Amino acid sequence: MMLLLLQFVLAAASFMQHAVQAYTHPRSSYVRMVASAPSSTSIDDDIMPTRKCNILICGGGPVGLAMALSLAQRGYNDIHVLERNPSASYFEVDKSYLYRIDGRGQKLTDQLGITERMAEVSTTTPEFLNITIIKSDRSVTTVPAPADPRQKTAYWLPRRALLSFLHSRIEENDTYRDAITFHYGTTIEGLSLPENLQSMEAEACVRVRCMDGTIVNYSTTKVLGCDGMNSKIRTGLAAWATEDGEWHIQSKKEHDRFGLHYIDSKSAGLRYKILTLLDDSPLTIMDPTNITKKELCYSYVSKSKAGSQGGFRLGLLPLKMAGIPRTANIIARSTTPIFMLTTGLELIEYLKSEFPQCDIDRMIELEEAERFAKSPGGIFPKSQYCLESQVILGGGGGGGNGVVYKQGEGCGGGIVLLGDAIHAFPPDLGAGVNIAFLDVLNLLDALDECNGDWSRALPQYEESRAIQSRAICELIPIGFPEQYNHMPMRKSIKLLGVGMRVALSKAIPSLFSPPVFFMCQDVNLDYSQVWEKAKRTTRNLIVLGFAMIVAMLGTILRKFALPSLFT
Ligand SMILES: Cc1cc2nc3c(=O)[nH]c(=O)nc-3n(C[C@H](O)[C@H](O)[C@H](O)COP(=O)(O)OP(=O)(O)OC[C@H]3O[C@@H](n4cnc5c(N)ncnc54)[C@H](O)[C@@H]3O)c2cc1C
């Protein structure tokens, strides 16, 4: 509690310092407020201060911080990061999941030159090859983790550790620190676009509510929407695209520009809550001296069977960074009894009856149990993706608005969406942060290729990300959404199918590919290639199945029905 308070005070102090430093100028008259999110305030925007900046990064999650660091490395300055949390190290317990940065995500960390340092605060694949399963009958078994040890080492670290790590890489370097200003504790409320996007002076305006309730408008030529799955920047663009009549006439996609496409899956709708655990709890209640280790992975299986009766597991993922508490994910159907409990005491009693193998009193504090019972947790979303991810501002062209870009028309700027703002999905394949880092890398590559000309780089970025965003969302339902034990029968059928695909892919690799779950671990394949291979395998399986049915019918006919025809 004290730590939280201290973080809050420091963030407030830091914000005040930046507020004094930032250049303030009267609100530009050409900004038309077409796309602000509905606001609860009645304060007139015209009297609010407008701060001008070079680059505005909306959202200080993994993508926002990686983008800020990357742009500072390329020599951009006057970069401002808006983030509603009070600091990078703020502990959001319901987001305290573990990221697995695989070879895809490492393409970015390699380019930033931070992979080796990241290893120091992460658990690596060789350290995380086994899962210890402790059943309610107190039996203990160890099984290999579902990771391919031949693949490049992956780094496992909690969200808070990743954010602190990225933030520290900025803070420790004088140049980056001077180039980037963080505004923690600020909430983005809406986006406005100018009347004429192609005017050389065109700037977007982002409306922000500060911690003390005041509103500030940020005016800039470059906005990066890294504000997650409910992105205000994306909804602002969608509202603008729908409202702006003149722009429509030139656009082919019209109303659904910046709209979301949804794909359902068997894991969508599952509820999750995260429970913070005490360190050094015994592996089982039977042996109080055999203590769990933070860097190892454990799975405690409940007494009730998985599925509709409400059974679930306590999954303890490995953790290395000091000072971060260990957590257990509880992922189950919304109707599971654990989600119906309303007090900490009820929760402790319930856990004791469901997990007789655990010394619950040494695992969970009553205060934490109380917090857990009150927390709404979260719901796995349906996969959602947005095919459009950019609008050009200031002198450029292209960008799906029907205007052909002429080279040499200036470097322009634009509004660009990255990460969960353009693709969000359940965490079944551990792909979220990796595809998000690939977005960052892709935008940087496009900017490098176009010599920093945003008006040429953004359409390139949009084209390549649209393919990948859709592909990963299509892969989620056919990956392994049954893994959470909420539909045991389907999980068994799925595992049979997985076994069959593994066998066929080994026997005839030219016709059949391995299951999606395994292909996603092959970092040499991008998600669109995995999707293509999965579709091809399914097509070939259908043909094979059809051929087998025809062959069987032929055999039956030959034996029983029409033997005379074949003699
Ligand atoms: C339960 C769960 C488990 C997950 N597990 C994994 C996993 O194991 N592996 C994996 O790779 N991915 C996982 N993900 C997905 C992963 O978290 C995201 O893909 C990844 O964080 C994307 O990063 P981002 O920066 O685009 O968005 P986010 O991480 O969502 O960051 C957005 C940032 O913007 C800030 N923000 C949002 N709105 C505003 C606003 N209006 N004003 C100011 N700030 C704002 C937020 O506070 C946040 O810091 C999981 C997701 C969930 C929900």
Is-contact 378 271, C-beta < 8 A? yes
Q: How far is CA 300 from CA 140, 292, 463, in A?
A: 9, 12, 44
CA of 560 to the centre of ligand 1 (A): 62
Mean pLDDT over each residue of the chain, to the nearest integer: 85
Which numbered atom of ligand 1 lies nearest the CA of 163?
49
Mean pLDDT of 259-280: 94
Please state, in angstroms and rounded to a whole number, the distance separating the CA atoms of residues 134 and 313: 10
**pLDDT at residue 183 above 60?**
yes
| 63: its two tokens | 């993508």
Would you give the end-to-end CA distance of the chain in angstroms? Answer: 87
CA of 228 to the centre of ligand 1 (A): 5
Candidates 83, 102, 187, 483: which one to mutate for ligand 1, based on the most atoms within 8 Å of Cβ?
83
Side-by-side strand order, sheet with 187-194: 24-25, 50-52, 215-220, 204-209, 187-194, 31-32
Please state, in angstroms and rounded to a whole number, the distance separating the CA atoms of residues 432 and 505: 27
In short, whether 315's Cβ falls inside 6 Å of ligand 1 is: no
In terms of C-beta density within 10 A (0-12 exposed, 13-18 middle, 19 or more buried), how is residue 214 classed? middle
Mean pLDDT of 241-260: 64
Query: What's at 31, amino acid-wise?
Result: V
| 249: its two tokens | 């006439």
pLDDT of residue 318: 85
**pLDDT at residue 400 above 60?**
no
In short, whether 414's Cβ falls inside 6 Å of ligand 1 is: no
CA of 420 to the centre of ligand 1 (A): 6
CA of 380 to the centre of ligand 1 (A): 12
Is-contact 21 181, C-beta < 8 A? yes
CA of 421 to the centre of ligand 1 (A): 9
- Supply the DSSP symbol for 488: H
Mean pLDDT of 11-35: 33
Mean pLDDT of 193-221: 92
Candidates 81, 99, 423, 440: which one to mutate for ligand 1, based on the most atoms within 8 Å of Cβ?
99
> What percent of the chain is modeled with pLDDT above 90?
67
Q: How far is CA 298 from the centre of its chain?
A: 24
Consecutive H or E run containing 427: none
Dihedrals φ, ψ of 142, to 5°? -120, 130
**pLDDT at residue 256 above 60?**
yes
In short, whether 102's Cβ falls inside 6 Å of ligand 1 is: no
3-state secondary structure of 559: helix
Closest residue by Cα to atom 6, ligand 1, is 427
**Which tops the pLDDT comparison, 252 or 438?**
438
Closest residue by Cα to atom 31, ligand 1, is 61
pLDDT of residue 15: 33
Which numbered atom of ligand 1 lies nearest the CA of 227?
34
pLDDT of residue 25: 30
Which numbered atom of ligand 1 lies nearest the CA of 232?
41
In short, whether 64's Cβ falls inside 6 Å of ligand 1 is: yes
Candidates 102, 227, 327, 416: which one to mutate for ligand 1, based on the most atoms within 8 Å of Cβ?
227
In short, whether 99's Cβ falls inside 6 Å of ligand 1 is: yes
**pLDDT at residue 97 above 50?**
yes
Of the listed ranges 85-89, 147-151, 471-475, 480-484, the one predicted with least confidence = 147-151
pTM of structure: 0.86
Is-contact 271 339, C-beta < 8 A? yes
Return the closest-CA partner of residue 152 out of 105, 111, 113, 99: 105
In short, whether 310's Cβ falls inside 6 Å of ligand 1 is: no
Which numbered atom of ligand 1 lies nearest the CA of 98?
8
| 208: its two tokens | 């922000």
Is-contact 399 490, C-beta < 8 A? no
In terms of C-beta density within 10 A (0-12 exposed, 13-18 middle, 19 or more buried), how is residue 171 classed? middle
Closest residue by Cα to atom 30, ligand 1, is 228
**Which tops the pLDDT comparison, 335 or 148?**
335
CA of 374 to the centre of ligand 1 (A): 22
In short, whether 63's Cβ falls inside 6 Å of ligand 1 is: yes
3-state secondary structure of 263: strand
CA of 504 to the centre of ligand 1 (A): 37
Angle at CA of residue 326, ends 323 and 331, nearest 5°: 145
